[in-house]
A and B are shown apart, each in its own frame.
Chain A
């Protein structure tokens, strides 16, 4: 009897672990689903502030995780403002001042247009597998979808969030919820992803709600109104000259 209990106590945890797939495998699947050679999207950012909501419309052209160009379309105050990201550098052009300003250092952690996203968040298109080790820690249902709970720990110091906990749709390999932590273990941001649609063979969330846990606002909704994958984008867009055009 004692021997039986001993065997069960060894085998039972192993059998539980065996039910979970490798975290890195899931992470690769997420990267494969979410990344694209290039992406063009038009979006609306709805910032829920204490004094009311504000909507900012923009169009972005993205190539891999190194080049991105965004032009703000509305409202009038922001219209014509442009951002250019080349590798780890970010430039901002303001038509009212006719200035091209480089955003660097700790400024990258500042809020983007008063939203719950930082410039760093907006710049970060890199693959998860390039910066994190992943372990599946459990499973849970979100909005009737079966999800793996994956804990990701950074393998280098270049990332904004040393730890992430991600709820990934088991079948569609798309995150449905994410918690982003500081090195100290403090929860910095929460994101929830909705309206998952299949576009060009990829499952993609069309609405993301960001909540900066250090802010008093009611969160920011990022809604993609149009999206295209793997379109050819002229190289000239990703130059400082195009900021002033």
Chain B
């Protein structure tokens, strides 16, 4: 039976080619759109995670309350031991230490006196340990405008705008005036190894990127860190896992009695990200749902048209004695086959284009100039497990549903009437 239907479909191209093309296009667009929306939403969150929040972040309880101020006097201490414990307990995750610091960057003239100065927003990362992955995570190589990434202790990166304002070039020395972890004055000299543009105005105004060991020395933060950031092995934020992980960690390590005890917060629980994460999830769901609905309507219509177009053929088959139920079932089987073939090919094409968009991306950095939002300069699609079956909803079910409805008409046709119709066609 199936073989017969397949032969029929192959031999009568009108019955197969057009519906399969329509189903394929619809499914491909559904899959591609789903991957694109998930990718854009996810990338925006990932950018924030890489620069600021991590997928989870460990801080002291009191630091967490004032985290916007980056209060290093409230930083975590005995970090080496804490990190060893965390790494042993959660080996699938990557853990990195970060220190955010504020201060004044002062550029000297030839006599060593102040030539220019400006407020700096600094991030200390593990630059020299390649295993930390911080250079890639912060996208430093691609962000370099002049000079190079620090190669030895005492070297820092400045944002390009900041260095221009200070009149500083790679190779020049600057002084950071800040406060130590214990509130003392910290004055340290650094050599500018290069300048960077992140495309994030808030950071491009006055960013300083330094190695964490240099800043530990400058701010008297031996075995201390402001933040310990955790990233999931898959590279993407997993909301449920992050929340569960935080709860488990806090039960074990955190104490209400000790305001300096470590506390883990998921990305969801930092700033206003809960709303953003929920919005990303629901927006992707809503857009995908609307798109699926539209595609379903189009493909249902294709099924209906297919059924109606074959009005004459059905009449002839009835006239020569074929059972109504048999005709109905064979049409449904055909539409199932068309739906499967269309959905499979549509999904393959959709995934192919989504893969291209995931690996190559679309450069929108030109449109982001002057933006105050933390948005990625290149938007990429993201292939999720759902993308492999999502297209079958409009592709298979809609066309079958269309055929089911159009086929009902078969049962309403009377044998006596059929011969009149045949006469009329025979004319």
Inter-subunit contact B179/A101 (CB<8 Å): no
Q: Beta-carbon contacts of B40-82 to A below 8 Å, as 1s and 0s?
A: 0000000000000000000000100010000101100000000
Task: Chain B residues near A135: list those with CB within 8 A.
Answer: none
Question: Binary interface profile of B, 104-127, with partner A (CB < 8 Å = 1, else 0)?
Answer: 101010001110010100000000
Residues of A within 8 A of B185 (CB): 78, 81, 94, 113-114
A-B contact count (CB 8 A): 79
- Chain B residue numbers with a CB within 8 Å of A49 are 73, 182-183
For B74, B104, B179, the residue with the greatest tally of chain A CB atoms inside 10 Å of its CB is B104
Q: State whether the Cβ of B245 lies closer than 8 Å to any Cβ in chain A.
A: no
Q: In the bound complex, do residue B183 and residue A115 qualify as a contact, i.e. CB atoms below 8 Å apart? A: yes
What is the minimal beta-carbon distance from B364 to any residue of chain A, in angstroms? 35
Q: How many residues of chain A have a CB within 8 Å of chain B?
A: 30
Chain B residues contacting A113 (CB-CB under 8 Å) are: 183-185
Contact in complex: B73, A50 (CB < 8 Å):
yes
Q: A49-B73, A99-B106 are in contact. Are A94 and B179 (CB under 8 A)?
A: no
B161 near A: Cβ within 8 Å? no
Q: A245 an interface residue at 8 Å Cβ cutoff?
A: no
Does A9 make an interface contact (CB < 8 A)?
Answer: no
A54 near B112 (CB under 8 angstroms)? no
- Count of chain B residues with a beta carbon within 8 Å of a chain A beta carbon: 27
Flag B349-388 by CB within 8 Å of A: 1 or 0 each: 0000000000000000000000000000000000000000
Question: B301 contacts the other chain (Cβ, under 8 Å)?
Answer: no
- Say which residue of A47, A102, A115 sits within 8 Å of B113 (CB atoms): A102
Give the distance in Å from the alpha carbon of A224 to the alpha carbon of B184 in the complex.
20
- Which of B108, B175, B183, B220 is the most central at the interface, judged by chain A CB atoms within 10 Å of its CB? B183
Report how far A92 CA is from B113 CA in the complex, Å: 10
The chain B residues found within 8 Å of chain A, CB to CB, are 62, 66, 71, 73-74, 104, 106, 108, 112-114, 117, 119, 175, 177, 179-180, 182-185, 187-189, 220, 259-260
Q: What are 28 A-B interface contacts by the 8 Å CB criterion?
A: A47-B183, A49-B73, A49-B183, A50-B74, A51-B74, A54-B182, A77-B180, A77-B184, A81-B185, A92-B177, A96-B187, A97-B187, A98-B112, A99-B187, A101-B175, A101-B187, A102-B117, A104-B117, A107-B104, A110-B104, A111-B179, A111-B183, A113-B183, A113-B184, A114-B179, A114-B180, A114-B182, A216-B71
